[in-house]
Amino acid sequence: MSKIIAINAGSSSLKFQLFDMPEETVLTKGLVERIGMDNSIFTISVDGEKKTEITDIPDHAVAVKMLLEKLTEFNIIKDFNEIDGVGHRVVHGGEKFSDSVLLTDEAIDEIDQLSELAPLHNPANVVGIKAFKQILPDVPAVAVFDTAFHQTMPEQSYLYSLPYDYYKNFGIRKYGFHGTSHKFVTERAAELLGRPLEELRLISCHLGNGASIAAVEGGKSIDTSMGFTPLAGVAMGTRSGNIDPALIPFIMEKTGHTAEEVLSTLNKKSGLLGVSGLSSDLRDIEEATEEGNDRAEVALDIFASRIHKYIGSYAARMNGVDAIIFTAGIGENSSEVRARVLRGLEFMGVYWDPSLNNMRGEEAFISYPHSPVKVIVIPTNEEVMIARDVMRLA
């Protein structure tokens, strides 16, 4: 039995999940919020009951120390020595990391150097890694990268049609994200289909506040909708997705905003929020459409139609598709979005059952048994993928 902790460190937060491996039993999970601010919030699940404490947690090292102390206080572990490995989610691995990696000092430095590619995420990931190293210096730690799964993409997928020197000199290319999730659900889909992953053509739709689509052929990502950053691809909760790049100087001229301000608008004030003017939360948008709100209806249509187009594009790219997968918060829970995405795909062999689609958050086939292309809802589990990689590498 090995106790493995999976960590997702944000700039002011720390999500954790403790597993008993290889059984993959979740012993506890929780969240530290508002790190470095007044009234930090520590939440942990003990025997299915949430326990919350409001206190001051000045930095990630204090958050880690508090987390480990709480694990012993609630008798989840006897002492720190019971932790056999730590797995860290890292957003960007660049071209350097095509797989998860054991965290040496050299690897940590390389992750830090990739911060210019993910300035909002990698620095926070490194802070989390160093905080654990400080308190558990002898426990093996592994980094699991959001980008790694997509490193199998061919040049025709990852290169932009820009001067080639931009790629060679600055690393400007498509990287793709949500790789850990896409990997988990495609592997699970192969199990559910009872077929080898190597012979399957799958389209994975990770639909949350951030959303990305991936074409996975023979278990390898061959294309994905996000790009150099997670701003590209389909419309999302607050992100625009793909737009004409010439709009940026045009918007700057019309509004007097700087490039940074326009980029902030594209990242934080666009997507469902921007079009609807109401909310970035899909549940609010769906509620408003039921009440006859026209802009909410348009926002929902844009969201679903962009995903619909990617599915058609990726089916063409792979000369067909065996299954379409829906995952993440919206993909798992919104029957309305799934219905809007799937409508009109009958021409390529997608036949889905509205009654089967009418469910939330469960693993299920929602296509008819005779449908040539299967449609599967699979709840994602990035944390268990992290724990598995710790077991594999540590």
pLDDT of 246-258, one tens digit each?
Answer: 999 999 999 999 9
d(CA 40, CA 346): 51
Topology classification of domain 2-145: Nucleotidyltransferase; domain 5 (3.30.420)
Residues forming beta bridges with residue 14, ordered by sequence position: 9, 32
For the chain, the structural domain boundaries read 2-145, 195-377
C-alpha torsion angle, residues 307, 309, 311, 314 (rounded to 10): -130
Q: Which of 65-74, 183-192, 343-352, 383-392 has the lowest mean pLDDT?
A: 65-74
Please state the rounded mean pLDDT for residues 373-385: 95
2-145 and 195-377 agree in CATH topology: yes
Is residue 200 over pLDDT 80? Answer: yes
Please state the rounded mean pLDDT for residues 82-91: 93
Q: Please state, as a whole number, how many other Cβ atoms lie within 10 Å of the Cβ of residue 297.
A: 16
Identify which has the larger pLDDT, 293 or 361: 293
Amino acid at 292: G
pLDDT at 235: 96
Is residue 11 over pLDDT 80? Answer: no
Residue from 97, 89, 86 nearest 121 by CA: 89
Respond yes or no: is residue 20 known to be catalytic: no
Read off φ and ψ for residue 209, nearest 5 degrees.
-60, -35
With residues binned 3-state (H G I as helix, E B as strand, rest as coil), the percentages for the chain, rounded to 5, are 45, 20, 35
Q: Which of 34-38, 226-230, 259-263 has the lowest mean pLDDT?
A: 34-38
Residue from 270, 325, 328, 278 nearest 302 by CA: 270
Is residue 1 over pLDDT 80? Answer: no
- For 195, which DSSP code? S
In the chain, the N- to C-terminal Cα span, in Å, equals: 14
Helix, strand, or coil (residue 279)? coil
Residue from 338, 334, 383 nearest 361 by CA: 334
Strand order in the sheet with 83-90: 49-55, 40-46, 25-33, 14-21, 2-9, 83-90, 141-145, 101-102
What is the share, in percent, of the chain residues with pLDDT greater than 90? 77
Read off φ and ψ for residue 167, nearest 5 degrees.
-70, -50
pLDDT of 20-66, one tens digit each?
Answer: 999 999 999 999 988 888 889 999 998 888 989 999 998 888 898 89
The DSSP line for 349-385 is: TB-B-HHHHS--S--EE-B-TT-SBEEEE----HHHH
* Binding-site entries for Mg(2+): 8, 382
* Binding-site entries for substrate: 89
Q: Please state, as a whole number, how many other Cβ atoms lie within 10 Å of the Cβ of residue 86.
A: 27
At the top level of CATH, which class does the domain 195-377 belong to?
A: alpha beta
Is residue 243 over pLDDT 80? Answer: yes
Please state the rounded mean pLDDT for residues 63-70: 90
The answer to whether 374 and 365 have CB atoms below 8 angstroms apart is: yes
Average per-residue pLDDT for the chain: 93
Q: Strands, DSSP E only, in the chain? A: 2-9, 14-21, 25-33, 40-46, 49-55, 83-90, 101-102, 141-145, 201-207, 211-217, 220-224, 323-327, 364-365, 374-377
pLDDT at 59: 86
pLDDT at 387: 95
Residues forming beta bridges with residue 358, ordered by sequence position: none
pLDDT of 363-377, one tens digit each?
Answer: 999 999 999 999 999
d(CA 97, CA 5): 21
pLDDT at 261: 96
pLDDT at 178: 94
Q: Residue 180 — very low, low, confident or very high, per pLDDT cuts 50/70/90?
A: very high
Q: Which of 47, 99, 146, 165 is catalytic?
A: 146
pLDDT at 14: 86
> How many residues are given for the chain?
394
CB hemisphere CA count around 237 (13 angstroms): 16
pLDDT of 268-321, one tens digit each?
Answer: 899 999 999 999 889 999 999 999 999 999 999 999 999 999 999 999 999 999
Strands 323-327 and 374-377: parallel
Q: Residue 13 — very low, low, confident or very high, per pLDDT cuts 50/70/90?
A: confident
User: Could you tell me the pTM of the whole model?
Assistant: 0.91
The number of helix segments (H) and strand segments (E) in the chain equals 15, 14
Q: Residue 135 — very low, low, confident or very high, per pLDDT cuts 50/70/90?
A: confident
Q: Residue 394 — very low, low, confident or very high, per pLDDT cuts 50/70/90?
A: confident
Strand order in the sheet with 201-207: 220-224, 211-217, 201-207, 323-327, 374-377, 364-365
* Binding-site entries: 8, 15, 89, 206-210, 281-283, 329-333, 382
* Binding-site entries for ATP: 15, 206-210, 281-283, 329-333
